[in-house]
Amino acid sequence: MRMGAAAELVIDEHAGGPEAVVEEHRRMAYRIAYSVLRNHHDAEDAMQEAFLRIWRASAKLPQIADRKAWVARIAWNVANDQWHKLSACAAGVQANVSELAGAVTRRHDRGANVEEVAAGAELQRLLEALIAGLPPKLRDVLVLSTVEELEAAEIGRVLGVSSVTVRVRLFQARRLLRAKMERLLVHHKETKAPRGTK
Amino acid sequence: MERKTVSRLLDEGLKNYSRVEAPGVAPGMPARPRHDRINWWLWLPAPVAVAAVLTLLAVIPRRPEAPPPVQRGIAGTPPAPVFAGTQPSRPPSVAMRARRPRSQAPAPSIHVLSPEELAGMELPAGLFPKQPPRPLAGGEIVIPEITIREVTIPDIETRNTERPGSATTETR
């Protein structure tokens, strides 16, 4: 029995090491980085940097209760740091929201259904541009909510707010985003319609 | 576009927002290792270069064999031919090589005469006995193949007593 208990302890210590943490939360970390950076290669770089930080902080690992939220916070911070660097480099490059809205509308008018339009690159770029224009508090909650692995409570632990606050900000963010999209897409449709039809 | 459609577009768009951009890839995971994705074309010239080197090695002719030893004869006369059965001549001595003029053309290489060539040649009588064609029982004439080699003619100052009748025995 004592030998078995010792073996279990060894296994637990090995399973709880940084390798196991990285392996368990790799997917989530990548999605968080991708939700911020919107680029596969940048997200990979951010994920590598996040795991490097996890490796350096492996001595603190036994004291960390919620490792998932801890990894998510590290990935979030790394991705935001990288996003600020990339934004500084790409200053002045702004997506033309009106053109993107026009492309989405044209695709819908050609007969594509909602799923096809939603999977298209035009709508994704339009969403990126609109989300980038949200207030930072609402934007962070909305971006993290798109990561499937994260619940409201975990988003709150990443951002340092309560789960109720997360839900409220998420509701506000979606409402604001919907209003922007309606103004663009519905307005675009109406302006394109002939005068006699009104 | 209707407001209801816009609302559905927003919901569906946010669902896909954190998915990877490459189609057919599991969400959240890269398609292939980065080095495989980016640098694979860098290895394309490697087999081409190897094939080019091998082709060059096959096309370039081999270095010709070393020429036979330098033949010398009497000034103004061509080197005397030597026919089959004779041993290869020794290389010229150091003194002979030292006296050899630099403008002298390289000695001709060994040439094997064909039977037809041999039959039409006029050879010095007595010195190099010409083997007559031997008729066979069936009447067919077989001309033996004779190899003509070149030999080193002794220096003009030395008398060649071993070859009576040779032109090299004359002393200037």
Q: What is the 3-state secondary structure (H, E, C) of chain B?
A: CCHHHHHHHHHHHHHCCCCCCCCCCCCCCCCCCHHHHHCHHHHCHHHHHHHHHHHHHHHCCCCCCCCCCCCCCCCCCCCCEECCCCCCCCCCCHHHHHHCCCCCCCCCCCEEECHHHHHCCCCCCCCCCCCCCEECCCCCEECCCEEEEECCCCCCCCCCCCCCCCHHHCCC
What confidence score (pLDDT) does residue B8 get? 86
Instruction: Encode pLDDT of A167-182 as tens digits.
Output: 999 999 999 988 988 8
Mean pLDDT of A93-110: 77
Q: Has residue A5 got a pLDDT over 60?
A: no
What confidence score (pLDDT) does residue A168 get? 92
Q: Judge whether B27 is closer than 8 Å to chain A, CB to CB.
A: yes
Q: Is B89 within a domain?
A: yes
Q: How far apart are CA A4 and CA A6, in angstroms?
A: 5
What confidence score (pLDDT) does residue A2 get? 40
For residue A19, what are its two tokens?
């390798």
Nearest to A184 by CA among A120, A126, A112: A126
Instruction: Encode pLDDT of A18-65 as tens digits.
Output: 788 888 888 888 888 888 888 888 888 888 888 888 888 888 888 888
What confidence score (pLDDT) does residue B93 get? 62
B32 or B79, which is more confident? B79
Say if domain A97-197 classifies as CATH 3.40.50.720: no
For residue B73, what are its two tokens?
């004869």
Average pLDDT, chain B: 64
For residue A53, what are its two tokens?
């930080």
Q: What percent of chain B has pLDDT over 90?
A: 2
What confidence score (pLDDT) does residue B135 get? 58
Q: What percent of chain B has pLDDT over 70?
A: 31
Closest Cα in chain B, distance from residue A149 (Å)? 10
Q: Is B76 within a domain?
A: yes
Domain boundaries, chain A: 2-89, 97-197
Residue B158 structural domain? 65-94+110-118+141-172
Report the domain count for chain B: 1
Residue in A closest to B18 by C-alpha: A35
Q: Has residue A133 got a pLDDT over 70?
A: yes
Instruction: Encode pLDDT of B45-65 as tens digits.
Output: 788 889 999 999 888 877 666
Q: Which CATH class is domain A2-89?
A: mainly alpha
**ipTM for this prediction:** 0.71
pTM > 0.80: yes or no = no
For residue A130, what are its two tokens?
């609109």
Task: Report chain B's C-alpha Rg in angstroms.
Answer: 41
Residue in A closest to B10 by C-alpha: A178
Q: Judge whether A35 is closer than 8 Å to chain B, CB to CB.
A: yes
CB contact under 8 A, B18 and A147: yes
Task: Report chain A's C-alpha Rg in angstroms.
Answer: 21
Angle at B57 between CA B52 and CA B63, to 5 degrees: 155
